[in-house]
Structure 1
Amino acid sequence: MVERFRAAGFFSLADKYEATVTDSPTYEVSIKIGDAVKTVTDYIGQSVGMPATVTAIEVAIDRAAKVERWISGTDETMPMLRAANWDFRSRQAADVLACSATGAPGWLVSEMLAAGVPTNGTCDDHSAVENAAYAARAGAFKVLVEAGGAEGASQRSRNNFLISGIMWCEPDLVAAALTLKPDLEVSSEPDFIPPLGLALGACEARESDGRDKTIRILRLLIAAGIDLNRRFADGGTIAFNRSDAASVKALVAVGADINLRNTFGRTPLLSAKSEDAAIALIEAGADTTARSNSGQSVLDYARENQWSKVVQILERQP
């Protein structure tokens, strides 16, 4: 460890490396050699010139001290708390649980609850179940809900749990949130996107394949009572105006009707916003002979949008 400090030229470093952002942890690293003492304060320091060797020192110190036991928890955490005669039923324990919910695995939260830790603690003015939901800790959220941690939660909070699960693209969190009877008509703020649309967008951004978790969440929402083919004011559905192939494929996989017509006689294919989405619809069996009320054909629509691949597909059809 001393060699790491020497290699970093620790005594010649600035005293502080502080970025102008908020809500991140601060590290203070100190070393004393004889009468010489040096402390370096790191607040996202690498973004403002702090050498990477200082970060390496911090990581090495954390590993040596096994701080993971007190950050996200390990199999050593509970035995050490018991050995210290920690009062699992205290308010302090409840508050620790609330803070731990942002990073602790579900099994550790379950063990803490089994040891008698109350669920009514707070951390940063949020309850344990709120912190678990907003940090996308699906396992912790589920066991907290099962332990009654969401009893008394407002309807707004229950709605937010669902929205959080969808935005994090976490099917298990969504499933647990749905047991709390959120309002299925809720929409995200401030953009007012309903659950189905939110799932398509959020999961596409978070999934490498853009489909598996999307499909799981869509199925959960449908099973809870959301109508996949519900019509909007213009007669269209969630399948209309799609701009990407992944969302089309996900909707088809869960049973979306891709040949419904809106009040203008348009189908999802005649409202597609990209060539990829149009091709995905055609491959899924969309009606390529459909015409809008104004008489526009699918081929006309493809030519208007300069979708050469779609034009070729349609011109090859009998």
Structure 2
Amino acid sequence: MKKPIILVLLILIAFSVDGVAQFTEIKRIQLPDNHLIGSIMGIDVLGNSFLITDMQEQVFLFKDGTDELIPLNPEDCFPGFDFKPIHTFHLADSSIFLINASLPGYRFEADGSCRGSVEDDFIQVPPGKLAVDDDEDRNHFYTLRAFPNQPLRFKSYQETGRLVGESELIKPKFPNFINRFESGGTAVHDGILYYMLPSGAEIYRYDIKRNVSIESIPFEPEYRTAIDVDISADPSQITKDLDEIRDDHYWVSSMFKLSEEYVLIQTHFREGEEYKYGIHFINLKTNEVEEQYAIFEQSFSFARDNKAYRVFDERMEDDNVLNPGIVVYEFTGN
């Protein structure tokens, strides 16, 4: 029997570290169990629409306030589709774009119904190398691709995955590290692409309309330094190199356009035997990194429209809980 969704509205609890980076937990959403979710690989949220990509090659659409997960499977629309999802995201018009590991992908309407195929020549990218333009008239999205010892490639796509623009950006200083890890991040605001490499140190900016790079923004957290040496190309040496990097440096794990005023940056670093996350903010009016920041033990999985989201999983503690859930926070400003 289908168990109804449990939506728990919480007493507003603001949390901060040393008085900075204010977020307020506003609700916990226990995902319904009409389908079982293994481990959540990624989420994307637009309004009350949640896209959940599972590590067991499942994708679900969930509308907050309803009691069911809607499976998104291109094979229902395109028989024989080799379904190996990488990432699923909302475009500005609320339609859904699914990136796939074999066939390029598929598109769905906002309600999960079939919309159409992705262009055959669309090239897949991981979530951290993709940013969605929030201008519904354009309905574009943008990707970055790294190739060994070459400049980053910036590409602009229409809603079908048709390539409409391409250019070269910076050449990374540490190609082995950049090509080994899919972290770093991208965000778009008012026609400007903000992007960071996993190695940190700078926030790069690119004017999409004028097709030109503009002045970068320094990024210098006080708790760790940026990566200043590349890892080895020799697989047998990589573990040793990474241990040395983790002891003294941070790396950039993600970026999100949090609001019309801020881009959120998340770093990752090790403190003793524990891993922690730094939360930083780019002020979009001043184009500076604000001095206030926070350190957390769990990162946000997604952020948009003044809200941030984390995944929680209580299945080990409660046998009656069959699926993970999502905590929703509201950003109340620095």
TM-score by length of 1: 0.26
Bigger radius of gyration, 1 or 2?
1
> Which structure's residues are more often helix, by fraction?
1
More strand by share: 2
Normalised TM-score (structure 2): 0.25
- RCO (CA 8 Å, sep 6+): is it higher in 1 or 2? 2
